[in-house]
Chain A
Amino acid sequence: MSSLSAASLIPVPFRTIVYREVHRFFIVINQTLLAPVISAVLYLFIFGFSLGDRFGSFHGYSYLNFLVPGLVMMGLVNNSFQNPSSSLMISKFEGNIVDILMAPIGHVEIVLGYMLGGMFRGLLVGSSILAVSCFLALPPFSHPLYLVTVALCSSALFSLFGIVAGIWAEKFDDLAMFPTFIITPLTYLGGVFYSISILPPVWRKVSLLNPLLYMINALRFGFLGVSDVNPYWSLAALVLLDLALFSLCLAMLRSGYRLRK
């Protein structure tokens, strides 16, 4: 029996989509990698160094340590979302989406290809923010396996969300709604910069409705071992949301929604 390399077992069209998605964002690396890392470093300087002393400690950690997981998650979700959403939108705008639509590629391959491309960018940005942050405040990495699982599931979730948005959006203005009105507010209000334990009881309850709160706290649990919410329930919810969005992406592609007339 002839031996097969691992790569030969992976369908070529799927590999090609991943290659295209990754190659595409590397071509504009200043915009896709450097910009979010610099933004995160600025947050670290402003909130961590300049204002950090005023906040005291959170769950026994310095504010800088507390801040890093939130910033990593912020970079990770934003970039996981932006890669497939902007890629699909640009392809629709320029018309080259027909290349994928006319090719003999299965729907699962398309979804997984775009998802992996987005995950790669999100994880690369998140890792870069973490790498830079380590020079300022080295987190303890309390639950490394949990940490990696949460990072993978979170980037997958927002990549899938990006696919949904990219298919749904008919113009760039439609797409801009997602980061402006959904992701950024939910991220900022999801405990990137604070623990919900400092909020008044009513707002604490309202915050529990924010899915980003669970993701940020899950990542914080992976790094620091502390969380405002049950980390295992958070992970379970994350996996379920991944499955739900994956199914939604497949259904959109199968129906041809906003892609095939």
Chain B
Amino acid sequence: MNCEHYMIRQISLFSENKPGRLAALAKACQEENVNILAFSIAEADGFGVIRALVDKPDVAYKKLTSMGFNVAFTHVIAVEMKDEPGGLYEIASKLSDAGINIEYSYAFSGKSKAILILRVDQVEEAIRLLISHKFNLIATDSIQ
């Protein structure tokens, strides 16, 4: 099994914690016709990290870097989750049993299903584990 197939490139941005930074990112994506599929903001004391899944990561990277942003790629995995009580537990417990640590995570629920985005310490192990338990992982080429 090719794990890379499921390793989605997430864009991360270093941002000062002040008004206008998310707007700047959003405007840049609009100008480059980049669609943001999901995003989260992690906040620390005085600064934050904006993380986003986009359909054209390379275009977004180039644009944001040229604007002076600190940008990095990180591999995350996106897994379909039942949109009902216990849906998150199913996934989290499997990872926990295998000793895989979730560094951070964010999720959204759409019309038909929910998606859980995970950054874990052992990416390939997590992909194998989840697939072996018949979870549906989002393939990179289906969105990017």
Q: Say if A and B assemble together.
A: no
